[in-house]
Amino acid sequence: MLAPIENYSDSALRTLCFNHGADLTFTEMTRVEGIIRNNKPTLAKILCCDSTPVEIQLLASNEEQLEKFVSSFKPFEGFRGFNLNMSCPSKELIKVGRGAGMVKRLTKAQNLVKIIQKYNYPVSIKMRLGANAFEQKHKVYLRLIEGSGADYYIVHPKHGSQNSDEEVQGNQIYEECLDSAKISGSKIIANGGITTPKKVIELKKIGVSGVMIARAALKNPSIFDYLKNEAGFNTPIKKIPSIKELKEEYTQLSNKFSSPHKYKENLSKLMKN
């Protein structure tokens, strides 16, 4: 899976990664309140000009606003469901119980999930282990997995006070989450620092249903097929293009889908030969 990445995850990048092995992609985090106000920059984040399999990632906390959006939503080709963001480490969001601050709010999470399911749409949750070390210690993340009712959970094994440069925690966290997922009948997707076939095979062995990749895909969008090839999941083996070839393909896609200039500029800085 290709992670939702702010200022990157438009139709061009998602299509590029799908072409090279990402089974599912996500739009960047989008605030529900902006959608229902018809805010143009917000609406642009969920504009899908392609047919790539995609989930729309929502930042939601108000039930009425979420229902207003979901009740009038018109599915499009490629749409696979909604994803609720409970992983954003923004201090401003955590302070008001959003992003990673939502992990401990089980009743609120249940309400949001039920609203989406009321309209028969699949729903997943992308989550951290809580807002801080205290919440992680008290395992609020396990209660969320056991009780919120989502179809699957994408677990980034850090709490909200940890930054992106800190090392993700070990397989013990995933094993705990898998035990909780058995209780709720859901699945676990691993997310964070996954860049080697060895790690993919290791995670598969302990029982996770898939992996989500973010930063590594920005440097090399064909990492999905590379990992699948090396881990034995691609039959037959897929050809891995050069970075130069990927850049050319991205240029064609970004022109086709009219990608914002800053998105093209951001990716070109990371994709290096």
Residues in the chain, pLDDT under 50: none
Task: State whether residue 2 is helix, strand or coil.
Answer: strand
Assess if residue 5 is contained within a domain.
no
Instruction: Name all contacts of 265-270 with Cβ < 8 Å and 24+ positions apart.
Output: 266/7, 266/8, 267/8, 267/13, 267/218, 270/218, 270/219
- Distance, in Å, from the CA atom of 15 to the CA atom of 26, rounded to the nearest integer, reads 11
Assess if residue 234 is contained within a domain.
yes
How many domains does the chain divide into? 1
Assess if residue 16 is contained within a domain.
yes
Task: State whether residue 163 is helix, strand or coil.
Answer: coil
Assess if residue 111 is contained within a domain.
yes
Closest CA to 60 of 100, 96, 98: 98
What is the DSSP secondary structure assignment for residue 62, as one 8-state letter? -
Quick one: pLDDT at residue 168? 78
Measure CA 271 to chain center. 21
List, for residues 17-38, the tens digit of each pLDDT value.
999 999 999 999 999 999 999 9
Q: Which domain holds residue 144?
A: 11-270
Assess if residue 105 is contained within a domain.
yes
Look up the pTM and report it: 0.96
Assess if residue 140 is contained within a domain.
yes
**Contact criterion met (CB below 8 Å) for 62 and 70:** no
Quick one: pLDDT at residue 170? 76
Assess if residue 221 is contained within a domain.
yes
Residue 227, domain CATH: 3.20.20.70
Assess if residue 65 is contained within a domain.
yes
Quick one: pLDDT at residue 6? 95
Task: Look up residue 265 and give its amino acid.
Answer: E
